Structure 1
Amino acid sequence: MNRHNQEVNGKTGTTEPRTVVVVVHEGCELLDATGPAAVFGVVNRTLREQAADAPGYLVTIAAQERGGVTTSAGVQLVADAAWRDMAGPIDTLLVVGSPDEPLGRAVANRELIHWLAETGGRVRRLVSVCTGAFLLAEAGLLNGRRVTTHWMDVDRMAREYPEVTVEPDAIYVRDGSIATSAGITAGIDLALALVEEDYGRKLALAIARRLVLYLKRPGGQSQFSSRLRSQMVTGGPLAQLLAWLEENAHQNIAVEDLADRAAMSPRNFARVFLRETGMTPSKYLDRLRIERAKHLLEETNHPMETVARESGFSGAEQLRRTFQRCLGITPRAYRERF
């Protein structure tokens, strides 16, 4: 094996394709299945073009029965096999999600849940996309684990499965051999992370570029921005304040200043703000400033001190600490990725 092939062959040195079984059900989200499958497929194509002797992936779609499965988009997927008939070792078992009604039917499918409970403990890597995490949780596979799911369903996950620790803002979460992603397209981010784990960062970034993705998001990046949160607060006592804050978060603003602007006592303001946005005022302000800093890191070559000051932080050290706390990545590492 030449040096180039050693680099793309990944860390395990395996000579057989890694078997990925994508478990789908009636009414599932189309992109939950096709997004990760496309990533693995492009890996195979790229490895062939590079004449690398790495094995790539063998992707199989499994459902209740072999044949057509209608997705929530109305488009049919064709299952290669019934999941109960899957034979041979599975490297990665990936379970997709769906909207509420089909998800409820899938969770109530005791045969499927029993099969997941039995099979999930035997695979090298157990993965869910979007609300597929509910199926893994129902099978008892997520007890004591850190997980994420679609932001609209994180409260429900925490309520229905208290043995699971839910990380509501994460794009994806890896806890040991189990990986869970946020909603729909976040499954692509997770698939790229799995490719990086198997074949290294160089190939993962090459795949991201080929898929016309903006490199890849770090796992700790928030599922949706504070600007989107503010757009969701239409009307109400804070609508004007949030609109003003979007344009002025980089200024030297204290929470007490915001309470004054809203004509509320600090205590009442904190209570109303949490109710309206789901965040404390200080956390919301941090998120707006981080989003401004991310833009500067992506679009400029400003030194860290300048990025910090222009984003509303007291200096580069406060920027670094806040970035690390909220996103799980340093500003310097973020700039390198983007």
Structure 2
Amino acid sequence: MKTIALLCYQNFQILDLTGPMEVFHQLNTLDKPTYRIKVISEPGGLVTASNGLQVATQKWSSLRDCHTLVVIGGVGIEHAVSNKNFLRFIQRHTSRVERMVSVCSGSLALAAAGSLSGKSATSHWRYIARLSELDTSIRIEPDAIYIEDGKVFTSAGVTAGMDLALALVERDSSRQAAMKIARNLVMAYRRDGGQSQYSEKLRAQQCDDDVLSDVCLYIQDNLQRDLRVEVLARRCAMSSRNFSRKFTRIMKCSPGQYVEQRRIERAKDLLNNKSIALKALVEQCGYQNLDVFRRAFYRNVGVSAAAYQKRFGPGATLQQDLGVER
């Protein structure tokens, strides 16, 4: 059996723990016993989550063998990474375990311990900037649900930990077992899209200006339509000049830049998750011209769409004329 140790601290996020833990437990009960699951902390005993729930843990000094170490995220992570013993524990086990995993802001602990140096990683969208501050050598993938680089796995916010746990279950057992667990937990076997599709909609909904909030949501849901500034301004009953000025001031980018960013995010989602014909991809993203799409994608992502899909896609190859690496 594989020992999975989930590392906690005061004010951890309870779903970061219980979400992946339940996925692992499901494999033990629905398929065959595969994991020995342990919840650990430095002192052992009861550890309090950020919502006040207390969880019984074992002392980390009692951990004798460990296949996978999972570092849980939460609002207490900054205090945890200031603890030298906490970082030393992660450093020691980075070289010992078969897999080092972080959920949400748990990636900050891996970064502070040096476990992510020179590696690709992701985190909750709120912690991306902080992750970069801790180790500038990390190749950050801000839109990914989860990232694998060697034996280190990082995941985005909260429920993304369950997505990653499901992927690990598939690796340790079978695709059929992972699909059975996904059905039982009423979750996607493989989630479509990246975390930006959720964070951007939330960003639009939380905008203090109701008019701009509505137009941002309209853009997100109508990328195939005409989204020129004058069209959006008419929806807001404003002149193009006033609309552009207000939008740029509040959203910190121009309307044109916002539309382009949302369209490129849609393109990345399609490339990540589907085998799609070139013409359909361009049309679904709201582009009428292949060359315009190609330039916009490279400008925003830094590689061609073909190169992006080769790295992150499901294995299918786009038509050759989509573009080449420049």
- Is TM > 0.5 for Structure 1 vs Structure 2? yes
Unaligned runs of 5+ in 2: 295-303, 318-326
Whether the 8 Å CA contact 1:172–1:220 is kept in 2: the answer is: no
Paired residue secondary structure (2:240): coil
1:193 deviates by 0.8
Tell me how far apart the structure 2 counterparts of residues 59 and 204 of structure 1 sit (CA, whole Å): 18
When normalised by structure 2's length, the TM-score is 0.76
Given the alignment, which residue of 167, 189, 202 partners 1:193?
A: 167
Whether the 8 Å CA contact 1:220–1:329 is kept in 2: the answer is: no
Paired residue secondary structure (1:68): strand
Q: Is 1:94 aligned to 2:78, yes or no?
A: no
Structure 1 residues 271 and 225: CA distance shift in structure 2, 3 A: same
Whether the 8 Å CA contact 1:323–1:329 is kept in 2: the answer is: no
When normalised by structure 1's length, the TM-score is 0.74
Number of aligned pairs? Answer: 300
Q: Give matches, 1:72-111, under 5 Å.
A: 72-79=50-57, 81-88=58-65, 90-99=66-75, 102-111=76-85
Given the alignment, which residue of 130, 133, 148 partners 1:156?
A: 130
Whether the 8 Å CA contact 1:273–1:280 is kept in 2: the answer is: no
1:332 deviates by 8.4
Code of the residue aligned with 1:93 in structure 2: it is L
Q: Is 1:62 aligned to 2:40, yes or no?
A: yes
Whether the 8 Å CA contact 1:149–1:168 is kept in 2: the answer is: yes
1:164 deviates by 1.9
Unaligned runs of 5+ in 1: 1-16, 49-54, 298-302, 334-338
Structure 1 residues 332 and 199: CA distance shift in structure 2, 3 A: same
Code of the residue aligned with 1:212 in structure 2: it is V
Structure 1 residues 323 and 196: CA distance shift in structure 2, 3 A: farther
Tell me how far apart the structure 1 counterparts of residues 104 and 117 of structure 2 sit (CA, whole Å): 18
Q: Is 1:231 aligned to 2:205, yes or no?
A: yes
Name the counterpart of 2:190.
216
Given the alignment, which residue of 275, 279, 289 partners 2:252?
A: 275
1:271 deviates by 5.9
Tell me how far apart the structure 2 counterparts of residues 168 and 306 of structure 1 sit (CA, whole Å): 26
Paired residue secondary structure (1:195): helix
Tell me how far apart the structure 1 counterparts of residues 156 and 53 of structure 2 sit (CA, whole Å): 22
Structure 1 residues 18 and 94: CA distance shift in structure 2, 3 A: same
Name the counterpart of 1:263.
240
Could you tell me the percent identity over the aligned residues? Answer: 31
Structure 1 residues 211 and 324: CA distance shift in structure 2, 3 A: farther
1:225 deviates by 5.1
CA offsets, 1:288-319, max 9 Å, x none? Answer: 6888x89xx9xxxxx99678756635499979
Whether the 8 Å CA contact 1:238–1:262 is kept in 2: the answer is: no
Q: Give matches, 1:1-338, under 5 Å.
A: 17-48=1-32, 55-79=33-57, 81-88=58-65, 90-99=66-75, 102-217=76-191, 220=194, 222=196, 224=198, 226-235=200-209, 238-239=212-213, 241-246=215-220, 248-254=222-228, 263-264=240-241, 272=249, 275=252, 280-287=258-265, 309=283, 312-314=286-288, 325=308, 328-329=312-313
Paired residue secondary structure (1:144): coil
Structure 1 residues 83 and 74: CA distance shift in structure 2, 3 A: same
Structure 1 residues 105 and 117: CA distance shift in structure 2, 3 A: same
Paired residue secondary structure (1:121): helix
CA offsets, 1:4-44, max 9 Å, x none? Answer: xxxxxxxxxxxxx1110111111111111111111111001
Paired residue secondary structure (1:94): strand
1:219 deviates by 7.9
Name the counterpart of 1:14.
none
CA RMSD across the alignment: 4.0
Structure 1 residues 256 and 178: CA distance shift in structure 2, 3 A: farther
1:276 deviates by 5.2
